[in-house]
C-alpha cells in the first residue's frame, strides 16, 4: 500500500473526522469533477477533430442499497495510472491546505466552506472509495482503492470505455448521521437539483418505474413489477445563458453560493450579455465580505472562463484587474480553440472582454455611488481598502479610474465623502484638500493640527489606514486642488511664526539647539487651541509615512528604515506652559533642555510615534509636574 503525501493526509484526516454539516456537498464535488473530465475530452475532440458531439456525454449515478454503494460514472477523459497517482495521491491544489496551516484554529467549516476541497470530501461519507478509470486513447484501465488515511493501492483493471467510475462505500449510519439517505432517489434528485443543475451534461439517476409484468395472464388482474430507467435530473441550461427576466434573485444567489462556496448571499450580481465589438456573456458577483485570504499569497483572483459553454480555465486572472480582484464570476465567449493558459494573456479578444468587464463594474459602482449612497457605503466598508490599494499599486497607473470611487471620513460633515463632495463644499479661498492621518477618526479629531485647520474654516479628511497617504501621493491633486497633510508645515494657514516677538526669539533658538538632530525646526503657533505642542513636518515624508516605513519588516540593509520625516515642533505661546518655558530660560537653562525633551516626546505621543526612552520621559515629566 502507498501512503498519501503528508499534506494530503492532513486534509484526509480533516474530512474523515469532519463534523461539517454540509457533508452532502461531496456529491457536488464528484459531479463537478466528472463534468470537468468530460469538458476536457470534448475540448480535445473539438481541437483534434475527433468528432465527438456534446450529446455523446453523460454522468450516471447508481445507488445499490444492498451493497450500500453509490457509483458515479462519467465518460470523460479518464486517468492513467500515473494520473491516478498524481491527482488522488496528493492534493493538487493545496491552497486551501496552506491556508489551513496558517490558521490552525479555524473550524473545518471554514476551510470546507471557503474553498471546496474536491475529491477528498468524499471521505466525509465514505469508509472506502474505489476509482476505476481508463484514460482516453489508452487500452488499459486502473483501479485506485483507499479506505482512508492509511493509504491507497493502484492496480491494473479492466473497463470497456474511457472515463471514470467512482464507487463510494457509505459509512454505517449512526445516531447523528443517516448516510443511507444518499441511496434514496429523492435525496439524490434534490441534491443534484440544488447543487448541480447548471452542469452542461445530463446527470442521470435510476428511477424505479412500475411496469406491467410480462407474466400477467389473460383475464387476470395486472401483475406489476418494477423496472429501472435512467432519468435526467439537471436542466443543463447554464444560468448565464438564460435571459435576465427569466431569472429570479434567489436563482442568482443560489448559483453564486454553490459555485463560489459562500454561505452568504452575494452583495450584488451583474449579468452581462454583450454584443457588438465583443460578444460574450458574463455573470459577475460582488460578495458581501472580502475573503479572509484576500491580501495573502494564497488568494487567487480570476473569473471562470468558458468557451462555448465548456469550462477551459478556473481562474483566469487576465479577465479582471487586480483592484477588482474580489469580484467572482464567469465569462462565456467563443474563443479560438488554440487558446491555452500561456496564450490567454496575449489574446486580443480576451483583452477586449476584460476591458469591457472592467468598465461595466466601474459603471455599476459609479451609479450606485450616485443613486444609492447607503448601499455604496456598505460596499465601500467591505472593499474600500481594496480600491485604495488599487490606486497605490503600479505607481498610481489606475488612479484615474478609481479616484472617484474612494471615500474618506470628513470631520466637518461627519460622514464618508468622495473627493468630489469635498471639493464642492470647499470654503472660499481654500487652496488645498486637507487630510490628517492617525489610528482612528477619534485620534485625528483630537490632533492639534486638525483643530488648527478646522478653526480656519476648512474641512479635514481622515486617513486611518496605512495605504491611504501613499495612495493620495499618487492622486496628487483632484480637480486642480492639491492634497495637504495637516501636519505639513506649509498648510497655507497663517502660522504666526512671522510675528515672533523679539523677546521670544532667543528662547525658540535655544530649544531648537537643545533638540538638534531630533527636530528640523521649532516654531511658535497660536492656532493650537487648547494644546501646548504639536508636531508638523516639512517636505515629502509625513509622520504617517515614517511610521509605516518603520513598521515594515526589516530586511537587511533596506534603505526605507532610514526614512525620517523632517519634524517641526510647534509650541503654543498662549498656553500656560509657555510661562514655564520663559521662566526656565531665565533661571535654569539646563532644566529647559530637559523640559524641551519632555515636550517633544509629548508631541510624538500625540502623533502615535514611538519615543525612544520611555523611562526617561516618565521620570522627567514627573519631575516637572512635582515642581
Ligand atoms: P480539483 O477538481 O479542484 O482539481 P479534486 O481533488 O477534486 O481537485 O481532483 C483532483 C484531480 O483529480 C482533478 O483535478 C482531476 O485531474 C482528477 N479527477 C478527479 N475526478 C476525476 C474524474 N472523474 N475524471 C478524471 N479526472 C478526475
pLDDT-derived band at 344, boundaries 50, 70, 90 = low
Burial pattern 427-451, b for ≥16 Cβ within 10 A else e, equals: eeebebbbbbbbeebebbbebbbbb
- CB of 93 sitting under 6 A from ligand 1: yes
Answer yes or no: is the C-beta of 34 below 6 A from any ligand 1 atom.
Answer: yes
Higher pLDDT, 225 or 507: 507
Structure confidence at residue 342 (pLDDT): 56
User: What is the 3-class SS of 470-491, one letter each residue?
Assistant: HHHHHHCEECCEEEEECCECCC
Burial (0-12, 13-18, 19+ Cβ within 10 Å), 161: exposed
Domain positions in the chain: 6-232, 239-371, 397-485, 505-626
Is 92 touching ligand 1 by the criterion CB < 6 Å? yes
3-state secondary structure of 331: strand
545 C-beta neighbours (distance < 10 Å), count: 21
DSSP string, 226-261: EEEEEEE------GGGS-GGG--HHHHHHHHHHHHT
Give me the mean pLDDT over the 13-37 stretch.
83
CATH of 6-232, one of 3.30.565.10, 3.40.50.10380, 3.30.1510.10, 3.40.30.10: 3.30.565.10
For the cut 50, the answer to whether the pLDDT of residue 404 exceeds it is yes
Helix orientation angle between 589-606 and 505-514, rounded to the nearest 10 degrees: 70
User: How much distance in Å is there from the Cα of 221 to the middle of ligand 1?
Assistant: 52
Could you tell me the pLDDT band of residue 92, with boundaries at 50, 70 and 90?
Answer: very low
Could you tell me if the CB of 87 is within 6 A of ligand 1? yes
Span 508-556, pLDDT tens digits: 999 999 999 899 999 998 878 888 999 999 888 888 888 888 777 766 5
**CB under 8 Å to 577, separation ≥6 — which residues?**
532, 533, 571, 599
- For the segment(s) 239-371, the CATH number from 3.30.1490.20, 2.40.160.60, 3.40.50.300, 3.30.230.80 is 3.30.230.80
Of ligand 1's listed atoms, the one at least distance from the Cα of 163 is: 24
The CATH fold assigned to 397-485 is Rossmann fold (3.40.50)
Q: How far is the CA of 266 from the centre of ligand 1 (A)?
A: 27
pLDDT in tens, 143-153: 999 998 888 99
Q: Which residue has the cell 506652559?
A: 577
The answer to whether residue 90 scores a pLDDT higher than 90 is: no
pTM: 0.70
CA 45 to centroid of ligand 1, rounded, Å: 19
Pocket lining: 595 vs ligand 1, CB cutoff 6 Å: no
| CATH number for the domain whose boundaries are 505-626 | 1.20.120.790
- Measure the N-to-C terminal CA separation of the chain; round to a whole number of Å: 83
Beta-bridge partner residues of 203 = 59
Residue 175 has pLDDT above 50, yes or no: yes
114 lines ligand 1 (CB under 6 A): no
Mean pLDDT of the chain: 88
Amino acid at each position: 500500500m502507498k501512503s498519501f503525501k503528508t499534506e494530503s493526509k492532513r486534509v484526509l484526516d480533516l474530512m474523515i473526522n469532519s463534523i461539517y454539516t454540509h457533508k452532502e456537498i461531496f456529491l457536488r464535488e464528484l459531479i463537478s469533477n466528472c463534468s470537468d473530465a468530460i469538458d476536457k475530452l470534448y475540448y480535445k475532440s473539438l481541437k483534434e477533430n475527433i468528432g465527438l458531439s456534446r450529446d455523446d456525454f453523460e454522468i450516471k449515478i447508481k445507488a445499490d442499497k444492498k451493497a450500500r454503494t453509490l457509483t458515479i460514472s462519467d465518460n470523460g477523459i479518464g486517468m492513467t495510472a500515473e494520473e491516478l497517482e498524481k491527482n488522488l495521491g496528493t492534493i493538487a491544489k493545496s491552497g486551501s491546505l496552506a491556508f489551513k496551516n496558517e490558521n490552525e484554529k479555524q473550524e473545518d467549516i471554514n476551510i470546507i466552506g471557503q474553498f471546496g476541497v474536491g475529491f477528498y470530501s468524499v471521505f466525509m461519507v465514505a469508509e472506502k472509495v474505489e476509482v476505476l478509470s481508463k484514460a482516453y486513447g489508452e487500452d488499459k484501465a486502473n483501479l485506485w482503492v483507499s479506505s482512508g488515511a492509511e493509504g491507497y493501492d493502484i492496480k491494473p483493471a479492466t473497463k470497456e470505455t474511457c472515463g471514470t467510475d467512482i464507487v463510494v462505500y457509505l459509512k454505517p449510519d449512526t445516531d447523528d448521521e443517516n448516510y443511507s439517505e444518499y441511496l434514496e432517489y429523492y435525496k439524490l434528485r434534490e441534491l443534484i437539483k440544488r447543487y448541480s443543475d447548471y452542469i452542461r451534461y445530463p446527470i442521470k439517476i435510476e428511477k424505479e418505474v412500475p411496469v406491467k409484468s410480462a407474466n400477467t395472464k389473460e383475464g387476470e388482474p395486472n401483475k406489476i413489477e418494477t423496472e429501472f430507467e435512467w432519468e435526467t435530473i439537471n436542466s443543463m441550461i447554464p444560468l448565464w445563458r438564460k435571459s435576465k427576466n427569466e431569472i429570479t434573485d434567489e436563482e442568482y444567489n443560489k448559483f453564486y453560493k454553490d459555485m463560489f462556496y459562500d454561505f452568504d448571499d452575494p452583495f450584488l450580481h451583474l449579468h452581462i450579455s454583450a454584443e457588438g465589438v465583443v460578444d460574450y456573456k458574463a455573470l459577475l458577483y460582488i460578495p458581501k465580505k472580502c475573503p479572509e485570504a484576500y491580501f495573502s499569497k494564497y488568494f487567487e483572483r480570476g473569473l471562470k472562463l468558458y468557451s462555448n459553454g465548456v469550462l477551459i480555465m478556473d481562474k483566469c486572472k487576465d479577465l479582471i484587474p487586480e483592484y477588482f480582484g474580489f469580484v467572482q464570476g464567469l465569462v462565456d465567449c467563443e474563443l479560438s480553440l488554440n487558446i491555452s493558459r500561456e496564450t490567454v494573456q496575449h489574446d486580443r479578444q480576451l483583452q477586449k472582454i476584460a476591458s469591457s468587464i472592467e468598465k461595466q463594474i466601474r459603471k455599476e459602482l459609479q451609479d450606485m455611488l450616485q443613486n444609492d449612497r447607503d448601499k455604496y457605503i456598505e460596499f465601500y466598508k467591505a472593499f474600500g481598502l481594496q480600491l485604495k490599494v488599487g490606486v497605490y499599486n503600479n505607481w498610481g497607473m489606475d488612479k484615474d479610474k478609481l479616484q472617484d470611487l474612494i471615500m474618506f471620513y470628513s470631520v466637518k460633515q461627519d460622514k464618508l465623502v468622495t473627493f468630489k463632495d469635498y471639493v464642492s463644499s470647499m470654503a472660499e479661498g481654500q487652496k488645498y484638500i486637507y487630510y490628517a492621518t492617525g489610528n482612528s477618526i477619534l485620534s485625528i479629531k483630537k490632533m492639534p493640527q486638525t483643530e488648527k485647520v478646522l478653526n480656519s474654516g476648512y474641512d479635514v479628511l481622515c486617513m486611518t489606514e496605512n495605504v491611504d497617504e501613499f495612495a493620495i501621493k499618487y492622486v496628487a491633486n483632484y480637480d486642480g486642488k492639491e492634497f495637504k497633510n495637516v501636519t505639513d508645515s506649509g498648510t497655507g494657514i497663517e502660522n504666526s511664526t512671522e510675528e515672533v516677538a523679539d523677546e521670544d526669539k532667543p528662547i525658540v533658538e535655544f530649544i531648537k539647539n537643545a533638540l538638534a538632530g531630533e527636530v528640523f525646526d521649532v516654531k511658535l503657533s497660536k492656532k493650537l487651541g487648547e494644546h501646548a505642542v504639536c508636531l508638523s513636518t516639512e517636505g515629502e515624508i509625513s509622520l504617517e509615512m515614517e511610521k509605516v516605513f518603520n513598521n515594515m519588516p526589516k530586511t537587511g540593509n533596506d534603505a526605507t528604515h532610514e526614512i525620517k520625516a523632517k519634524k517641526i515642533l510647534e509650541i503654543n505661546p498662549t498656553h500656560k506652559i509657555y510661562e514655564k518655558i520663559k521662566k526656565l530660560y531665565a533661571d535654569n537653562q539646563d532644566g529647559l533642555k530637559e523640559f524641551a525633551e519632555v515636550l517633544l516626546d509629548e508631541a510624538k505621543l500625540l502623533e502615535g510615534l514611538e519615543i525612544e526612552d520611555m523611562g526617561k520621559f516618565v521620570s522627567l515629566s514627573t519631575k516637572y509636574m512635582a515642581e
